[in-house]
């Protein structure tokens, strides 16, 4: 009887989502950690449930919407991801990660100008954001702006000398210019 009451008390403090138990009253950081753990395990739908809850409970949190954007991108639901990213940057225009994600989604949707503008904003907010330089290089290369792409790859490499993908894409751009 004591075990049943204990279990009932424990369940009373939990919100049951299929396959996932979400404790009520969790902080934003706890929800992010839980969602990222599920995302890291490849459970994108479970992570989406956590992040959807997060935006309901923290509707003024840019981080909440950026995390939702990220997992919606994982699920290849790009229009929804774009809307979540736009909401994140509307809430906090200084969220460099949200601008980066918005650029990533825009590039995946084929909107290279919007992607580059978002990467530029992320870099403006954090001039040491190597992955933003790298991704801007990809978008510039996709536009045929190889000199600018190489400059972006060079900056990514300068910031992270072990950035193998930046070296590789820089080599591709140089080859496309006939310099290799």
Per-residue pLDDT, averaged over 127-144, amounts to 98
- The predicted structure's pLDDT at residue 19: 38
Cα separation, 85 vs 176, in Å, equals 33
pLDDT tens sequence across 72-98: 999 999 999 999 999 999 999 999 999
pLDDT band at 157 (very low <50, low <70, confident <90, very high): very high
Residue 22 clears pLDDT 50, i.e. is over it = no
| pLDDT for 26 | 84
pLDDT given at position 11 = 32
What are the b/e assignments for 76-93, b being 16+ CB within 10 Å? ebbebbbbbbebbbebbe
Domain ranges (residues) in the chain: 14-95
CATH fold for the domain made of 14-95: 1.25.40
CB 34, CB 67: distance < 8 Å: no
Contacts of 68-77 spanning 24+ positions with Cβ under 8 A? 69/98, 69/101, 69/102, 69/105, 70/39, 70/101, 71/35, 71/39, 71/44, 71/47, 72/48, 73/101, 73/104, 73/105, 73/108, 74/39, 74/44, 74/47, 75/44, 75/45, 75/48
Min mean pLDDT across 13-17, 42-46, 96-100, 112-116 is at: 13-17
Residue 180 binned pLDDT confidence (cut-offs 50, 70, 90): confident
As a whole number of angstroms, the distance between CA 72 and CA 88 comes to 14
C-alpha neighbours within 13 Å on the C-beta side of residue 15: 12
* Predicted local confidence at residue 25, as pLDDT: 72
pLDDT at 24: 60
Q: Where are the alpha helices (DSSP H) in 109-145?
A: 112-125, 130-142
């Amino acid at each position: 009887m004591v075990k049943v009451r204990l279990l009932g008390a424990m369940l009373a403090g939990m919100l049951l989502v299929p396959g996932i138990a979400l404790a009520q009253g969790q902080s934003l950081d706890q929800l992010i950690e839980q969602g990222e753990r599920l995302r890291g395990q490849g459970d994108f739908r479970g992570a989406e449930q956590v992040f959807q809850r997060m935006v309901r409970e923290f509707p003024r949190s840019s981080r909440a919407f950026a995390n939702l954007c990220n997992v919606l991108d994982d699920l290849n639901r790009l229009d929804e991801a774009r809307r979540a990213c736009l909401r994140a940057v509307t809430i906090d225009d200084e969220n460099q990660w949200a601008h980066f994600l918005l650029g990533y989604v825009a590039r995946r949707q084929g909107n290279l100008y919007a992607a580059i503008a978002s990467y530029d904003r992320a870099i403006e907010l954090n001039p040491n954001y190597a992955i933003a330089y790298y991704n801007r290089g990809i978008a510039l290369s996709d536009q045929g702006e190889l000199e600018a792409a190489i400059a972006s790859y060079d900056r990514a490499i300068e910031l992270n000398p072990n950035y193998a993908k930046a070296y590789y894409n820089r080599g591709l751009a140089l080859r496309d210019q006939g310099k290799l």
